[in-house]
Structure 1
Amino acid sequence: MQHIKISLLILFLFTVTSIVAQNDKIYTSNGDVLVGEIKSMQRGVLVYDTDYADKDFQIEWEGIEGISCSRSLIIYTEDGKKYNGGIQFIADEPKKLIIQTLDENITVNLDEIVEITSFKSKFIDRVIISIDAGLSLSKANNVRQTSAAGKISYRGIKWYFSARFNNVGTTQDDVDPIDRSEGGMNFTRDIFGNAMVLGGLEFLSNSEQMLDLRSTVKAGVGYYLIRSNKLYMQAGIGIAFSQEKYDGIEKTKQGSFEGLGGTEFNAYDIGDLSFQMKLTTYPSFSEWGRWRIDFDTSLKYDLPLDFYVKLSYVHNFDSEPLVEVSKNDYVFKTSLGWEWD
Structure 2
Amino acid sequence: MKLRTSIVLFVLLLCTFYAGAQNDTLRLKNGNVLYGEIKGLNTGVLTMETPYSDDDFTIDFDEVAGLSIERRSIVILAGGRRLLGYLNSETDGTVTIRTTDEGDVSIGLSELTQFQQVKKRFLDRFYGNIDLGFNLTKANNNRQFTSSGGLHYRGLKWMGDLEISSLRSERDEVAKVERNSASLGILYLLSDKWYAMGSAAFLSNTEQQLDGRVSTRVEPGRFLAISHRLVWGLTTGINYNVENFAGEDFDNQSTEAFVATSFDMYDFGDFSLNTRFEFYPSLSESGRIRADYLLDVSYDLPWDFYIKAGFQFNYDNQAIVAGTEFDYILTSGFGWSFD
TM range (shorter): 0.7 to 0.9
| SS in structure 2 at match of 1:111 | helix
8 Å CA contact retained: 2:119, 2:125: no
Name which of 269, 272, 293 aligns with 2:270: 272
Please say which of residues 148-157 and 310-319 is displaced more in the overlay. Answer: 148-157
Cα distance change on mapping 1:24 and 1:320 into 2, 3 Å: same
The SS at the match of 2:190 is strand
User: What residue in structure 2 maps to residue 198 of structure 1?
Assistant: 197
- Cα separation, partners in 2 of 1:208 and 1:148, compared to 1, 3 Å: same
Question: Alpha carbons of 1:176 and 1:35: their partners in 2 closer, same or farther (altered >3 Å)?
Answer: same
The alignment status of 1:310 with 2:286, answered yes or no, reads no
SS of 2:284 mapped into structure 1: coil
* Whole-angstrom distance in 2 between the partners of 1:16 and 1:184: 48
Q: Which residue of 2 aligns with 1:129?
A: 128
Q: Structure 1 residues 153 and 281, CA, compared in 2 at 3 Å: closer, same or farther?
A: same
Q: CA deviation at 1:60?
A: 2.6
Query: Which runs of structure 2 are paired with 1:1-40 in the superposition (5 Å)?
Result: 22-40=22-40
Q: What residue in structure 1 maps to residue 335 of structure 2?
A: 337
Instruction: Quote the Cα distance in structure 1 between the aligned partners of 2:70 and 2:207.
Output: 58
Q: Which runs of 5+ in 2 are unaligned?
A: 1-14
Secondary structure of 1:225's match? strand
Superposed CA offset, 1:263-293 (max 9, x none): 1111121111111111111111111321111
- The answer to whether the aligner puts 1:110 opposite 2:119 as a matched pair is no
Counterpart of 2:180, as a letter, is: S
Identity rate, percent: 33
- The alpha carbon displacement at 1:63 in A equals 1.9
- The alignment partner of 2:127 has SS state of strand
- TM-score where L is the length of structure 1: 0.86
The CA distance in 1 between the partners of 2:70 and 2:134, in whole Å, is 51
**Which moves more between the two structures, 44-53 or 158-167?**
44-53
Deviation by residue 1:23-60 (Cα, 9 ceiling, x = unmatched) = 22111122112222333222222233445567654333
How far did residue 217 of structure 1 move?
Answer: 0.7
In 2: Cα distance, 1:56 partner to 1:219 partner: 39
Query: How far has the Cα of 1:204 moved from its partner?
Result: 0.8
Question: Equivalents in 2 of 1:265, 1:185: separation in Å?
Answer: 18
Count of aligned pairs between the two proteins: 324
Structure 1 alignment gaps of length 5 or more: 1-14
| Alignment CA distance shift 1:157-1:45 (3 Å) | farther
Q: Which residue of 2 aligns with 1:41?
A: 41
CA contact (8 A) 1:40 1:121 kept: no
- Aligned CA-pair RMSD: 2.4
User: Which residue of structure 2 aligns with residue 283 of structure 1?
Assistant: 281
Query: Equivalent residue for 1:247?
Result: 246
In the TM superposition, residue 131 of structure 1 has moved relative to its aligned partner by 1.6
What is the TM-score when the length of structure 2 is the normalising length? 0.87
The CA deviation at 1:119 is 2.7
- For 1:119, the equivalent position in structure 2 comes to 118
Residue pairs, 1:107-256, within 5 angstroms: 107-120=106-119, 122-123=121-122, 125-248=124-247, 251-256=249-254
